[in-house]
Amino acid sequence: MAGPLLEARVDEEDAFLGGRNAQVIRTELGPFQSSTFFAADLVVLSPGIPLSQMQVKSLRLQDAVHHTACGVPVLSEIAFASQCFPPTIPISGITGTNGKSTVCSFVGQLLNSCGGRTFVGGNFGTPLSECALEFVLAKRQRHQCEGLYVPWPFDSVVVECSSYQLEHPGALRFDVACLLNITSDHLERHGTMAQYAAVKRRIFSALSQSMTLAITPAVRDKPNAKISSVFREEVPGFNSVGPATTVGTGVKLRSDNALELDAELVGGNQVYIGSLPGVVVDSHEFAKVCLPDCTDDNGLLQPMLVNISSVTALSTHNGGNAGVSILLAHSMNPTTYPLSRLAGGLFTLATLPHRMQLVATTEHPVHKSIYWVDDSKATNIQAAATGLAEYEKCAVVLIGMFS
């Protein structure tokens, strides 16, 4: 579906993406019409549309590899938008079950504190296609104003990617791709934990160059192992005793219920959350941060100690989010954004609304001050438990549910 704004701008985007004459865009309400799908040149899916949807499934059966003689290409919205970014603009893709939006917001704030002009969006806030359109219009302006300097609208792009977006087909391009964590979620869409993990690891398929960087959770008991990533989550239906069992392409279930990602599936260099090279949060005050090339003359890693105590939030887990964020921001352009400069931005970080947000304080004759906290963005048990576990006060929890 498309609204009047998209209809007014479609000719601008068309000029960048292929030069076809723009057709009038119309909105169809009610059941999908198969004739509309099969008459299209390209189908761009909203994240809420599953691949099992009847017309989408039919198109993909006809066009498994895209661009066949009779098929209609099917793309995710973020893959469609990815075509529009100049190769000189660094792009970071961030996924995970919990903490994606906070980390994306922190990365953008840190980059901007160093004078950057950063787009932050994707799965939350502004869609990536809106950002792409700004680049399309800037490119056209550059062509029209030959000889004059026309800056790009942003010098860095930070994209939050959900499993719904990563499930959809299409080529992505990231310079840095990060998986924060993975716990059971969205199984009503993905079916099994193994399939959910397989969808999440698609973010690393966008790393194809030697200078790109993958950031993954560390294997706690084997920090130097060749396993590219371990997703620690019990999978119902699998016995926890026994050898590793293959549960999906490139994903293995270990005997300790950890989901492994084959090393060949991660492009670029790799750093870890919880091990070096990467970021290690030693306490609620300090984080050790370094990239693979931060070594001394003997080849030993030389991490920088970053003070994260200035990150003020009711829950101390935001110290971990800040540590990952400064690693991500630094990896976008280590020369432009050195750790020493980014560390100054930690003092001004602001948390997003509805995430352990203090909304009121009332006085009580016995308990003195009572803090009312909005954590309504904790939409699964793990997210809610994380906030409560590190909130060092007695708590009364008000929980909603489906009616």
How does pLDDT run across 362-384, given as a tens digit for each residue? 888 777 788 888 888 777 777 77
Where in the chain is CATH 3.40.1190.10?
A: 85-348
346-355 mean pLDDT: 85
Q: What is the distance between the alpha carbons of residues 109 and 45, in angstroms, rounded to a whole number? A: 30
Q: What is the DSSP letter of 295?
A: B
Q: Is the pLDDT of residue 247 over 60?
A: no
Q: What are the CA-CA distances from residue 37 to residues 70, 154, 350 (Å)?
A: 13, 34, 43
- What pLDDT does residue 372 have? 85
State the Cα–Cα distance between residues 302 and 323, nearest whole angstrom.
16
Residue with the bigger pLDDT between 145 and 23: it is 145
Residue in the structure block whose two tokens are 């529009």: 84
Closest CA to 214 of 167, 257, 262: 262
Of 288, 270, 284, 276, give the one whose Cα is nearest residue 326: 288
DSSP reduced 3-state for 56: helix
pLDDT one-digit tens code per residue, 272-315:
888 888 999 877 789 999 998 899 988 899 999 999 988 855 45
Alpha helices in 93-174 (DSSP H): 100-113, 128-144, 163-167
User: Has residue 93 got a pLDDT over 80?
Assistant: yes
Of the two residues 186 and 14, the one the predictor is more confident about is 186
pLDDT of residue 39: 85
Supply 351's token pair: 């948390």
pLDDT above 60 (res 253): no
What is the model's pTM? 0.80
178 with 88: CB under 8 angstroms? no
Residue 134 CB coordination number (10 Å): 15
Query: Does the pLDDT value for residue 333 go beyond 70?
Result: yes
* pLDDT attached to residue 316: 67
Q: Please state the CATH superfamily assignment of the domain spanning residues 85-348 in this structure.
A: Mur-like, catalytic domain (3.40.1190.10)
> 8-58 pLDDT, tens per residue?
334 444 544 545 455 566 778 878 888 888 888 888 999 988 888 888 888
Q: Which one is predicted more confidently, 104 or 144?
A: 104
Length of the chain: 403
Mean pLDDT (the chain, rounded): 78
Mean pLDDT of 349-354: 84
Percent of the chain residues past pLDDT 90, beyond the cut: 33
pLDDT band at 260 (very low <50, low <70, confident <90, very high): very low
Tokens read off for 169? 């087909």
